[in-house]
Amino acid sequence: MIDLKNDDDLKQAVEEMLANSPRTTWISKLTSFLEHVANADLEERSSRAFHDLIWEKNPVSDVGMGTVNVSSALDDTAFRQWIAEESLKALPNDKMELENHLQSFFDELVTRVLVFSKRKPLVKILRIMAGFFPRHFTSIAANAKAIECHRALLGKSSKKGPVKYQLELTERLNEVLGEAGNSPVELATRMTVAWELLDRYVVDKSEAPSVDTVPGDSQLKPLPALQRRKGLTAISGGMATLIGAIAFVSDGVSKEELMTHLRAEFPDYRESSLGTLFNVLKNEFRVIEQEGDLISASNLGTSILDTGEPEDLMPVMLTRILGFDGALKYIQKAGGCSVSKLCEFLKTVNPGWTSNFAPTSLIRWLREFGLVEPVEKGVLQLTERGQQWVEQVYWEPESLPPLVKVEIPESTFTAQGGGFDIGDLALEKLLGLLGKDMSINSVTVQQLHFGLWANERRHFAIMAGLSGSGKTLLARRYAQVVSEYFDGSMEENVFVQAVQPGWYDPTPIFGYINPLASAAYVRPALLDFVLDAAARPDEPFFIILDEMNLSHPEHYFAPVLSAMETGESLRLHNEGDSFDGVPCKIPYPNNLAFIGTVNMDETTHGLSDKVLDRAFTIEFWDIQLDSYPGWGQRSLPAESEQSVKQCLEGLIDALSPVRMHFGWRTVDEVLDYVDIASKASPKFVLSNTLDQVVYSKVLPKLRGTDSLRLLEALNQTKKVLQDFNLVLSSEKLDQLITDLNETGIMRFWR
């Protein structure tokens, strides 16, 4: 991959580029233009015809989509005379003086043209300066593209301004390629190099909102309606907020620094709303970008910060935001329209917009960008900017297809017949399908199978007990076997959801309406899975809630607990029959089974009666090492493996009365540790190795308060450790026993 920041790569890229299919027609036009400008004297440079050439017919680049009308300025004799005189002044030789001279020319030209126009014609101004000073400017007159090329050739940097970007690009090319010759054709060729590099090596054509069909002739590239973002999020402050955020991150800040800035700007926003605002800046408007924890201005954001204008956003808005192009076309065809009529039109563009919220938000942005303006109460018309941009919409704006109301059938499942009959899967068949590699006894499988399906609607089991005892493994394997038996699959019919701390309501399962974009429904993958289950009642579906008591189930699981008890519908929201494609309610899917796994320690919550009353509970405390399927699967000598087994059996027997023993995960890790140590260490001693891993994997879970049962368990554990000569572990047990006797409490972490 070519790195344009590397001198050799850059030189090679340019040489190959110039050797293969140079843009001869463009270079020929540009050569003639530069020759004409160079030979023009003061009188010609002051003429209206000359200014029509450099402002409107300039071949350096196209003027971009949404050209600014400067005809009033060109009609002004004093305006033309000033440009003519300034353009003929000799350029300083000193680098800093040259930069100051060109920057002053640029600033004064902007000031003078704004007397005649409300908008800053940045692209046209940069094209003019390239014509007057071709040795110091490239043919990339669009500032956002110049920034993109600058970053590709020189890397990221702080804000510089349009003139500085041009000077540094030409300087970079001169350093690698040498100074360009003095002839118009040599200057024209060098001016086009940056554009060619941008086009060939920098721009991702699949992501670009516009495409250059030929150099200097840009055309928008619209996305289909189905691929577009559904509306624009309204944010307080509009463009001022965008520019303020871009300015804050322009030199690079951490995400937390940006979030602190946003909290100060919007003290009334909740954290979730601030997170949404961050995503709006990053993913909706694309004005900031993130690399690891570093947040900085994107090329687009940097250009907006340079100009203070929204021009560079327009290609993205017109090609990627549903309804943006259609709204401008609608106003154009109607010659102006009321806000209410425009809202009704936008609802036809996206039938999922059943209220005026999303259309109104989009209309606010049309006004914020200066594309429409009110001419009388409630009536909008296109501004000059709006007229110029709508002319770039050469396609017929698309709409989303009408919503098809999908009838979600009532589940026909019963335990004894209907959509599928769980009775067809006999216990013996189930055990055979589970396989002999499962270290779970048949009684536990029977409890799960019968308990889960005993009720015709309430299919809910909880597996509680020892961490690492195989609860989640059994749940996954059981769900897979049952799904596949009834022609389903693990991928489509089983969903494993890791429950997170801090789930205080059902939104992690059923989603919610975006607080900053109320036309959008944030839908977790789990919601789509539940909808699939409701729509396919002839198949069993399983949701595995792993560590479900990290949060209170009666909080986040409340709608399911109620619906599985009463048989009433699951209500998802209260916004009409459907909102953003999500039905307001669905019949409770009788074919949906829930399996929850719980660990009981200080990081989890107890289970309330409301939960336990609806669940079939299975305990996982009994660990029989003889049933462990991994014996003989490692390279350990048989006698070493047998010693490890005897030690682990002794520890399990000693600790199980106080339920501090361990499960299959720990057995795996102990054996793996001993196995790799035996192969990797020439001085391998089994007792030392076993001591290390027991100290690290078994003892840290020991904790409790004074009781005869706990003291007896610790004494028995110490005896096992001494029997197998586990010195470090035995010493640690002495400390724990002393703590228990002296303070009435003990724990590994002191």
Q: Where are the domains of the chain?
A: 7-215, 227-390, 413-620, 626-747
The average pLDDT across 65-80 equals 84
What is the fold of 227-390? Answer: Arc Repressor Mutant, subunit A (1.10.10)
| 438 Ramachandran zone, left/alpha/beta (phi>0; psi -120 to 50) | beta
Q: What is the rounded radius of gyration, in angstroms, for the C-alpha atoms of the chain?
A: 36
Residue 157 backbone dihedrals phi, psi, to 5 degrees: -150, 170
Q: What tens digit of pLDDT does each residue of 578-606 get?
A: 777 788 888 999 999 999 998 765 545 67
Domains 227-390 and 413-620 in one fold: no
Q: In what order do the strands lie in the sheet with 337-338?
A: 337-338, 379-382, 372-376
* Greatest mean pLDDT range, 131-135, 597-601, 665-669: 131-135
pLDDT at 234: 75
Average pLDDT over the chain, rounded to whole?
A: 84
Residues whose CB falls within 8 Å of the CB of residue 330, separated by 6 or more in sequence, listed in order:
337, 342, 345
**In one letter, which amino acid is 551?**
S
The average pLDDT across 81-108 equals 95
pLDDT at 212: 47
Q: Specify the length of the chain in residues.
A: 750
Give whole-number Cα distances, 452 to 129, 143, 285, 458, in Å.
77, 64, 48, 8
pLDDT at 573: 80
Low-confidence winner among 58-72, 220-234, 388-402 (lowest mean pLDDT): 58-72
pLDDT at 647: 93
Q: Do 187 and 35 touch, CB atoms closer than 8 A? A: no
Question: Taking Cα atoms as reference points, which of 593, 653, 643, 645 lies closest to residue 623?
Answer: 653
For residue 406, pLDDT over 70 is answered with no
- Tell me which of 210 and 699 has the higher pLDDT: 699
pLDDT at 205: 46
For residue 160, pLDDT over 90 is answered with no
pLDDT at 158: 66
Rounded CA gap, 327 and 349, in Å? 9
Rounded CA gap, 554 and 615, in Å? 12
For residue 92, pLDDT over 80 is answered with yes
Q: At what angle do helices 7-19 and 162-177 cross, to 10 degrees?
A: 90
For residue 275, pLDDT over 90 is answered with no
Residue 212's DSSP bridge partners are 218
For residue 81, pLDDT over 90 is answered with yes
For residue 241, pLDDT over 50 is answered with yes
Pick the CATH number of 413-620 from 3.30.70.3280, 3.30.390.50, 3.40.50.300, 3.30.870.10: 3.40.50.300
The helix (run of H) or strand (run of E) holding residue 338 is strand 337-338
For residue 417, pLDDT over 50 is answered with no
- Position 218 confidence tier, pLDDT thresholds 50, 70, 90: low
pLDDT at 45: 96
For residue 411, pLDDT over 60 is answered with no
pLDDT at 414: 39
pLDDT at 517: 57
The average pLDDT across 421-435 equals 79
Q: Structure tokens of 698?
A: 């078994």
Rounded CA gap, 111 and 133, in Å? 20
Q: How far is CA 267 from the centre of its chain?
A: 25
- Tell me which of 533 and 157 has the higher pLDDT: 533
The average pLDDT across 411-422 equals 50
CA torsion, ordered 172, 178, 179, 182, to nearest 10 deg: -140
Q: How far is CA 658 from the centre of its chain?
A: 46
For residue 260, pLDDT over 50 is answered with yes
Question: Taking Cα atoms as reference points, which of 245, 386, 235, 216 lies closest to residue 317?
Answer: 386
Q: In what order do the strands lie in the sheet with 494-498?
A: 494-498, 541-546, 592-599, 460-465, 616-620
pLDDT at 159: 67
Rounded CA gap, 575 and 521, in Å? 11
Q: Do 212 and 61 touch, CB atoms closer than 8 A? A: no
pLDDT at 67: 66
Which sign, positive or negative, has the C-alpha torsion 146, 150, 151, 153? Answer: positive
pLDDT at 171: 94
pLDDT at 728: 92
- Tell me which of 236 and 469 has the higher pLDDT: 236
For residue 412, pLDDT over 60 is answered with no
The average pLDDT across 469-489 equals 87
Rounded CA gap, 409 and 139, in Å? 62
pLDDT at 515: 63
Q: Tell me the helices (H) and strands (E) count for the chain, helix number first.
A: 34, 23
Rounded CA gap, 618 and 553, in Å? 17
Kindly report the number of other CB atoms within 10 A of residue 264's CB atom.
8
Rounded CA gap, 78 and 582, in Å? 63
Low-confidence winner among 41-45, 64-68, 290-294 (lowest mean pLDDT): 64-68
- Position 209 confidence tier, pLDDT thresholds 50, 70, 90: low
For residue 438, pLDDT over 50 is answered with yes
The average pLDDT across 379-383 equals 92
- Position 183 confidence tier, pLDDT thresholds 50, 70, 90: very high
Q: Do 578 and 584 touch, CB atoms closer than 8 A? A: yes
Q: What percent of the chain has pLDDT over 90?
A: 32
Q: Do 436 and 478 touch, CB atoms closer than 8 A? A: no
Angle at 229 between CA 225 and CA 234, to 5 degrees: 135
Q: What tens digit of pLDDT does each residue of 552-568 get?
A: 888 889 899 989 988 88
The average pLDDT across 698-724 equals 90
pLDDT at 596: 92
The average pLDDT across 57-71 equals 75
Q: What percent of the chain has pLDDT over 70?
A: 91
Greatest extent of the chain over all pairs of C-alpha atoms, in Å: 109
Q: What tens digit of pLDDT does each residue of 322-336 get?
A: 999 999 999 999 999
